[in-house]
Amino acid sequence: MATQTAAQKRAQAKAQYDAFLAACPSRQLLDRISNKWVTLILCALGGDGGSMRYSELSRQLAGVSQKMLTQTLRSLERDGLITRTVTPTVPVTVCYELTELGLSLRQMMRGVKSWAEIHMDDVLDNRASYDTGTA
C-alpha cells in the first residue's frame, strides 16, 4: 500500500529542500507564509476555543479587506494549515480552525508577532539614531 508515502517522503525531506535556492518549492512556501496576514490569522486562530468565524477574524484583524482575508484563508486551507467548516444554519455559519500542521507553524508566528511588539521601542530608537546620524 501507499499509505506511508507521505511519511517516507518526509523522512528524506529534511535534507531535500533548501529555501536559499530560488527554484526550490520551499522558497515559494516561505514566501507565502512570510506574510503579515498569515501571521495574524494563525495567531488569532487558536486564541480562545481554537475556532473562529469569518466575521470574528474580520473584526480581530483590524483593517483587513474581505478580499485579502478570504484569499489568505483559502491559501491556508489549501496548504492544509486550517480547516473550513460550513454549518448550514440560516444564515450560514463558517468556522475556521487550525490543523496540526497549522498549529506547528503558529508557534513560530506567535514568536514573530510577540517579537515585533516587544522590540518595537528598540527598533524605534534605532531608526531615530539612524535617521539623525547619531552613532
Partner DNA sequence: CAGAATCCTTCACGATACTG
Partner DNA sequence: CAGTATCGTGAAGGATTCTG
Q: Cα(80)–Cα(31) distance, rounded to whole angstroms?
A: 16
The listed partner (a second copy, DNA, none) that binds 126, CB under 5 to 8 Å by sort, is a second copy
Q: Residues 49, 88, 91, 133: which binds DNA (CB under 7 A)?
A: 91
Neighbours of 75 (CB within 10 A): 17
33 binds a second copy (CB under 8 A): yes
Q: Which one, 66 or 91, has the nearer CB to a second copy?
A: 66
Q: Cα(19)–Cα(11) distance, rounded to whole angstroms?
A: 18
Q: Would you say 68 and 37 are in contact if contact means Cβ atoms under 8 Å apart?
A: yes
Q: Would you say 61 and 39 are in contact if contact means Cβ atoms under 8 Å apart?
A: no
Give contact residues for a second copy (rule: CB under 8 A).
6, 9-10, 13-14, 16-23, 25-27, 29-31, 33-36, 38-40, 43-44, 60-63, 77-80, 101, 104-105, 107-109, 111-113, 115-127, 129-131
